[in-house]
Amino acid sequence: MELKRVVVTGLGAVTPVGNTVEETWKNLLEGVSGAAPITQFDCSKFKTQFACEVKNLNVNEWIDRKEARKMDRYTQLALVSAAQAVKDSGMDLEKEDKNRIGVIFGVGIGGIKTFEDEVSYYALNKENGPKFNPFFIPKMISDIAAGQISIHYGFRGPNYATTSACASSTNALADAFNLIRLGKANAIVSGGAEAAVCACGVGGFNAMHALSTRNDDPAKASRPFSASRDGFVIAEGAGCLILEELEHAKARGAKIYAEMVGEGESADAYHITASHPEGLGAKLVMKAALEDAGMKPEDIDYINVHGTSTPVGDISEAKAIKEVFGDAAYKLNISSTKSMTGHLLGAAGAVEAMVSVLSVQNDIIPPTINHDEDDKDEEIDYNLNFTFNKAQKRTVRAAMSNTFGFGGHNACVIFKKYDD
């Protein structure tokens, strides 16, 4: 069976550096950090007192106030990003066969704030017997963002959530890509959302020693590939891509950002939180994506790396890139936009896929910020071009986006310039 081609026809984003795709992209190119003191709860007794929060977003401009109260914040962010992407795609939903449009949306944790609130309320009032909000479960569960988007638009195609920690939304994109090229859908609204900036989220990651504690200078806390990195910066947000079968997109005169050409998936099979020190799973997933795309290492011009600013993870990913790409590794641009957005957990892959698509479209690489020339790790090869501190213009024929999650889950996607 001949596989169908898949293109990107719509984008949406709500991130710590912008509440639209345009604002996010502009601030990423300018090297703006989204990290600041936490505003959503009293964190004065926590080891980490800052995060990358979404700022100044009025969800009621996008979602009916009554309906929004039935949703966890992660679902609200998902719906806003999806609404932007659907609008951007230019699809006339009155003319579309909604049985052939699906929704696959990833989340790493789900409604953790809803869970925290309900359990706290129960603990305070348990002597009076159990009393829970009737929307507790529907607000909390990880599939509900996909369900709410489907309900909002009446999309009746494939509909589910992917949960693989920080690889969740990249897995969502991979699944959407495969379903479309197999002919099972005309288009799929795909991406990811997360909203874990709460006491349980920050406290839990603090207990693992996973978060940066650079409370005196939050904006410079996320510093991938620098020797002084001390953990990731937790973030919230959502990203959404409209993936569409090429002939369907052409028939309706859609604008095309880029073509999605390959995906890869692998496991480290090593540790519940740490990446394999030699990047074994990272090597496998990048090789798998290249093979799926029918591409050679030298065909890739940019990798948006996982690059979380953790001591072990950054080293292992750099090693993996060198092994997979060989001499071509030194001709690549590499950057970690988590240096600006922080780590959006289950939403990271979707936002970073969007960044990769925009790099292909605009021929420019956003930077990895917060690197000082004398802050070098002896285990990292700085002959690789990490695009430190300043965006770089270059022709981007194809871009790869890596995401690696707790549990050893690895996912990778590739986009290239569309050529009919």
Task: Tell me the torsion sign for CA atoms 322, 270, 161, 168.
Answer: negative
**Residue 264 tokens, joined:** 């890869």
pLDDT at 124: 67
pLDDT tens sequence across 299-355 = 999 999 999 999 999 999 999 999 999 999 999 999 999 999 999 999 999 999 999
| Banded model confidence at residue 127, pLDDT cuts 50, 70, 90 | confident
What tens digit of pLDDT does each residue of 154-167 get? 999 999 999 999 99
Which residues does the annotation mark as catalytic?
166
Q: Give the whole-angstrom CA distance, residue 324 versus residue 313.
A: 17
Q: Which residues of 340-378 are buried (b: 16+ CB within 10 A; e: fewer)?
A: bbbbbbbbbbbbbbbbbbbbbbeebbbbbbbbeeeeebe
Helices 21-29 and 348-362, interaxial angle, to 10°? 70
Beta-bridged to residue 260, according to DSSP, are 6, 415
Single pTM value for the model: 0.97
Average pLDDT over residues 281-287: 98
Beta bridge partners of 251: none
Mean pLDDT score of the chain, rounded to an integer? Answer: 97
Given this model, what pLDDT does residue 235 score? 98
In 123-277, the DSSP E strands lie at 159-162, 187-194, 237-245, 258-267
State both tokens at 405: 């999650």
The pLDDT of residue 123 is above 70: no
Domains of the chain in start order, with CATH, are: 6-416 (3.40.47.10)
